[in-house]
């Protein structure tokens, strides 16, 4: 059961992404061809709930990358302070393969 659920998870996510992109392509096409205010209001009223979901889905990886950058910057600063060097590449590295 556990192995099957992992396989099904990928296909479910693929299906949801296809639905999402098809919905957005349909909305963009409708906005392009229906240039009336009432049409735009109806489209907005029926698709508003997709935009917060879209923002949340893309905020997670962006936040992750900012945290990784911050951690790497902090690590470089700690290495610089510990070894009193100007550049992180100047830190001595022990070569354990030669032992």
In the chain, domain spans? 1-48, 49-91
State whether residue 84 is helix, strand or coil.
coil
Check whether 44 has a pLDDT greater than 70. Answer: yes
Neighbours of 24 (CB within 10 A): 14
This prediction has a pTM of 0.45
Question: Is it the case that residue 86 has pLDDT exceeding 90?
Answer: no
Quick check: 43 and 27 in contact, CB under 8 A? Answer: yes
Q: What percent of the chain has pLDDT above 90?
A: 15
Residue 40 has pLDDT above 60, yes or no: yes
Q: Where are the alpha helices (DSSP H) in the chain?
A: 2-33, 37-47, 50-83
Residues 6 or more apart whose CB falls under 8 angstroms from that of 35 comprise none
pLDDT at 91 over 80: no
Percent of the chain with pLDDT over 70: 78
Most confident of 14-18, 26-30, 47-51, 63-67: 63-67
């Amino acid at each position: 059961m556990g192995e099957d659920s992992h396989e099904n998870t990928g296909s479910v996510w693929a299906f949801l992404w296809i639905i999402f992109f098809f919905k957005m392509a349909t909305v963009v096409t409708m906005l392009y061809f229906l240039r009336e205010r009432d049409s735009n209001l109806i489209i907005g009223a029926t698709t508003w709930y997709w935009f917060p979901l879209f923002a949340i889905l893309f905020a997670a990886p962006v936040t992750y990358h900012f945290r990784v950058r911050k951690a790497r910057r902090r690590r470089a600063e700690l290495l610089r302070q510990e070894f009193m060097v100007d550049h992180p590449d100047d830190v001595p590295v022990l070569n354990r393969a030669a032992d």
